[in-house]
Structure 1
Amino acid sequence: MHIKKAAIIGKGAVGLLYGSLIARNIGTDAVEYVMDDDRLSRHAEDALTINGRPCRIRTVGASIAAEEEPVDLLILAIKATGLEQALVTMESCVGPQTRIISLLNGITSEEAIAQRFGWENTVLSVAQGMDAVFIDNALTYTHPGEIRLGPASATAPGVVDQIADFLACAGISHSVEADIRRRQWVKFMLNVGLNQTCMVFGGTYGSIVAPGEQNRCFIAAMREAIAVAHAEGVDLDEEDLLQMVAMVESLDPAGMPSMAQDRINRKRSEVDQFAGTVIRLADRHGILVPQNRYLYDRVAQIEAAYMDELDEGLRWE
């Protein structure tokens, strides 16, 4: 099967970044965004920009997508907090031959996808290394990062290669991993330290690698994730941690990860996918994870404060 057209669910930093690359290198006919109808009605007039240029990629509602042919490739690029609704939206554009790749943070989204659509056309993947910042409907980035992908145990032969060929045509840096599950855990370890620390401290890629309290929190949270990974049978080590730190050091020091952007944009974060997962697995294996417990509680406090402010504002509108 030759992939000719992709649909992206998720019009935030990751979705805009990769959608723009597909449109630029293959053509605007090769990609579209799909939203549930209610969300589209709320955001139809949003003027989105990508590095200062307007985003002109077609966006359709689920009801329209359901009347069209299923797409060849579905790219899921939402936050994990929106996965349940995204699975419903996917039903409008996924057919028996639709290949599916999830770029969500965490280590569980593919399982939820496969429960509904099967493992045959679903691959495992991570997106990493981008410094995309999406605030006030404007996406900016200097490093587009890369996608690493590989088969799950029940992925059909050829599916990974078909997606990889499409990514190559789109000019999206990627690699096929022999052990993609381990790579997912490496990215998960990074997110556990990077995203949560930057949100709690209001930090950036530059501040988190500088000597100080942010850096100590960053490293401690990742080492707890390594301990949990070992208990789960995944062989992470200090070299993986050092490689991720080096990658962060290569990014724009003024940039910030998604949870730090959530604090600015006053949105629910993915803390449950990060510290929440570490804590649940640690409890299962009898491992102490005080740094992640601190981060989980602190993020909850920060979110509660600005959610209360938003609720108060709505009462006075």
Structure 2
Amino acid sequence: MTNVTILGAGAMGCLYGAAFHRAGWNVLLVDVNQEQIDAINTNGLEVDTRAGVEHLPIKAVQPAAADGTADLVVLFTKTFQTDRALEGIAHHIGPETYILSLQNGLGNDESVARHVERERVLVGVSMLPSDLIGPGRIRSHGEGSSKLYPAFTTDDSFATQVVDALNTGGLPATLDPDIAAAIWSKAIFNAAMNPLCTLTRRTPGFLGAHEESQAIIRDVVLEGVAAANANGVPIQPEPILELTEMSAKDHADHEPSMLQDIKAGRRTEVDAIDGAIVRAARKAGLTAPATEFLWRMVKLEEAKL
């Protein structure tokens, strides 16, 4: 049986942990939130989807209590917590362990490569919604899928096993050799939608209903695509713009993680999303004024905390 450890047992980590559990993998949820850990261990993980409500018997522990060696670590911590989180389970990572980053933003491949051999780094994107509605309880009532691939090699044998398990467990997933384009596209999508939801304290449905937000979204998408193309990642704006429209309809009431963080008084990942796109644009001799404005505004929100 494959041992998979979900590092960061929040809304998304629990959603993926549930899928691996359904697929028959041995799942361990690792988090620093003791209330979350206790709720999962006492009542099981509650997963509310359109298919119904499940209570799954999955073990949850603090990092120091992660025993044995993981075959796969799926990383769902905040980008600025990557090094500390992986150092906290270093005893749980062996020479054969793979690490899959499904984190937001750009540059996660190199961050993970500081902790395992480069051929064992997998990266991906998830376009699935998930909300933490209470300790040990998540809700996911929208459509979406995942893409993943090795970050530095073309040997996709283990990545194929991961994709098969996710599909078996009810989360649509595919291998994508052009994973860099997928990661950039999601970062651009997030750079447009997440700060606007955060600054307005509204969800995607609100953004989709107003010309003002739609105009800003388009500007940010075009700036991000230009930055990606200038950095050697060829993508087009139309699919990303279509995704923002789909989000406003299918995920109309979903609170993105950036909004959840500000409401909870936590630091956001805006530096790894909007900030990273602005830095990439500058590196290529471009500017990204709309993206930079959203970045700076969210940093001001953080400064108020």
Match of 1:34 among 22, 30, 35: 30
**Post-superposition CA distance 1:244-291 (Å, at most 9, x none):** 224314423122211111122221111101121122122222212111
**Partners of 2:196 and 2:182 in 1: how far apart?**
21
**Post-superposition CA distance 1:208-251 (Å, at most 9, x none):** 12232222222211211111111101112132223322431442
Which residue matches 1:263? 262
CA contact (8 A) 2:75 2:100 kept: yes
CA contact (8 A) 2:145 2:172 kept: yes
**Partners of 1:248 and 1:106 in 2: how far apart?**
18
Which residue matches 2:191? 192
- State the percentage of identical aligned residues: 27
| Higher deviation after alignment, 42-51 or 167-176 | 42-51
Q: CA deviation at 1:133?
A: 2.0
- Taking a change above 3 Å as real, the CA distance of residues 249 and 288 of structure 1, as seen in their structure-2 partners, is same
**Post-superposition CA distance 1:29-88 (Å, at most 9, x none):** 7201124xxx355754456743376664211233332xx331221111122132121121
| Higher deviation after alignment, 246-255 or 5-14 | 246-255
Which residue matches 1:8? 6
Is structure 2 residue 238 aligned with structure 1 residue 242? no
Which residue matches 2:117? 118
Which residue matches 2:216? 217
Is structure 2 residue 291 aligned with structure 1 residue 292? yes
**Partners of 1:10 and 1:102 in 2: how far apart?**
11
Partner SS, residue 222 of structure 1: helix
**Partners of 2:297 and 2:65 in 1: how far apart?**
42
Gaps of 5+ in 1: 308-317
| Higher deviation after alignment, 155-164 or 208-217 | 155-164
Partner SS, residue 193 of structure 1: helix
CA contact (8 A) 2:46 2:55 kept: yes
- Taking a change above 3 Å as real, the CA distance of residues 245 and 59 of structure 1, as seen in their structure-2 partners, is same
- The residue type paired with residue 12 of structure 2 is V
- Taking a change above 3 Å as real, the CA distance of residues 44 and 173 of structure 1, as seen in their structure-2 partners, is closer
**Partners of 1:21 and 1:144 in 2: how far apart?**
15
Which residue matches 1:59? 60
- The residue type paired with residue 255 of structure 1 is H
Which residue matches 1:310? none
**Partners of 2:55 and 2:190 in 1: how far apart?**
30
Match of 2:47 among 46, 50, 62: 50
Is structure 2 residue 278 aligned with structure 1 residue 282? no
**Partners of 1:20 and 1:270 in 2: how far apart?**
25
- The residue type paired with residue 294 of structure 1 is F
Which residue matches 2:18? 20
CA contact (8 A) 2:13 2:76 kept: yes
CA contact (8 A) 2:208 2:245 kept: no
**Partners of 1:57 and 1:210 in 2: how far apart?**
40
CA contact (8 A) 1:81 1:269 kept: no
**Partners of 1:89 and 1:55 in 2: how far apart?**
26
CA contact (8 A) 1:121 1:159 kept: no
Q: CA deviation at 1:126?
A: 0.8
Q: CA deviation at 1:152?
A: 2.6
CA contact (8 A) 2:106 2:273 kept: no
Partner SS, residue 115 of structure 1: coil
Is structure 2 residue 132 aligned with structure 1 residue 134? yes
**Partners of 2:206 and 2:297 in 1: how far apart?**
19
**Partners of 1:247 and 1:64 in 2: how far apart?**
41
**Post-superposition CA distance 1:110-134 (Å, at most 9, x none):** 2111122111222221111x22222
**Partners of 2:109 and 2:71 in 1: how far apart?**
18
Which residue matches 1:177? 176
Which residue matches 1:205? 204
**Partners of 1:158 and 1:45 in 2: how far apart?**
36
CA contact (8 A) 1:126 1:147 kept: yes
- The residue type paired with residue 240 of structure 1 is P
